[in-house]
Structure 1
Amino acid sequence: MDRQQFIAHMQNRYGTAPDYPWAKLPDYAVFRHGDSGKWYALLIKIAASKLGAESDALVEAINIKVAPGVAGSLRQQPGVYPAWHMNKEHWVTLLLEGPMDDDELLGWVDDSYRLTWPGKKRTMTL
């Protein structure tokens, strides 16, 4: 899945347009819940070395929230890293065009959306 496909999915699935809050980082897009403004995904373009790879090539990645206790086991999969610039216990970074199947990646985005839903509606179905 490429960047434009991901953005289109976010708009179609959740009705969320990307927010670009940092002028110095124009490729960083935040996806927020419309009612609360709470983040559920962050689309970034960073050097792979910032994720622990040996390359300085730029990669597209997303930060998402995961359920407590899931981050450690999820990070054992290829293309999943400790969250870049986020709480590493509750967030992970996934390569957008990585080895993870698109459906699995989008399933994790669904989980992040539910986990960050404000109030008691966290059990909502998508």
Structure 2
Amino acid sequence: MISRTAIFTYTEDNFGVTPEFPFKKYPRYAALKNRHGKWFGLLMNVPADKLGLTGTDALEILDVKVDPEFGELLRGKPGFLPAYHMNKEHWLTMILNEKTDEALLFQLLDDSYNLVINS
């Protein structure tokens, strides 16, 4: 499974971004913001049932901004869901586990950063 540390290292190395932890109630929720303060990623641990899945075990997830057409395509694949607590058309939730495609995750972070910085 890709670690939070690997994601944080990637965003720092590629975008100069370090995570912020804005939620006192949820201290592990990490916001990734561009230089203008706009979010391009949110790393969370959320119970499976809150994501519409079976069970109550906490899942590590990453929300990223996506092109709506690409997001629709990915939501049809295992490990991808409509965004948790974000706009479902423009954001996507990726479940982070042993099946996570690391290259795709980093591509989605790149795309999300660029979508947000160019908006």
Tell me the TM-score normalized by structure 2: 0.92
Residue of structure 1 equivalent to 2:49: 49
Partner of 2:13: 12
CA displacement 1:80-123 (0-9 Å, x = unmatched): 0000000000000001225231001111111101100045xxxx
Cα–Cα, structure 1 residues 98 and 111, in superposed 2: closer, same or farther, change >3 Å? farther
2:25 matched to which residue of 1?
Answer: 24
Q: CA deviation at 1:69?
A: 2.1
Which structure 1 segments of 5+ residues have no match? 120-126
Q: Does 1:62 align with 2:84?
A: no
RMSD between superposed Cα atoms in Å: 1.3
Aligned 8 A contact 1:3 1:96 in 2: no
Amino acid at match of 1:113: Y
Separation (CA, whole Å) in 2 of partners of 1:97 and 1:11: 22
Partner of 2:112: 112
Q: What is the number of equivalent residue pairs in this alignment?
A: 118
| Aligned equivalents of 2:17, 2:96: Cα separation in 1 | 18
Superposition pairs of residues 70-85 of structure 1, within 5 angstroms: 70-85=70-85
Moved over 3 A (4+): none
Q: Percent identity?
A: 36
Q: Distance in 1 between matches of 2:97 and 2:41?
A: 16
Normalised by the size of structure 1, how large is the TM-score? 0.87
Q: Secondary structure of 2:45's match?
A: strand
**Structure 2 unmatched runs, 5+:** none
Q: Distance in 2 between matches of 1:100 and 1:88?
A: 21
For each residue in 1:31-72, what CA deviation from the matched residue of structure 2 results, as whole angstroms up to 9, or x when unmatched? 1012x1011000011111111210211111110000132222
Residue 67 of structure 1 aligns with an amino acid whose one-letter code is D
Tell me, in whole angstroms, the C-alpha distance in 2 between the residues paired with 1:82 and 1:68. 11
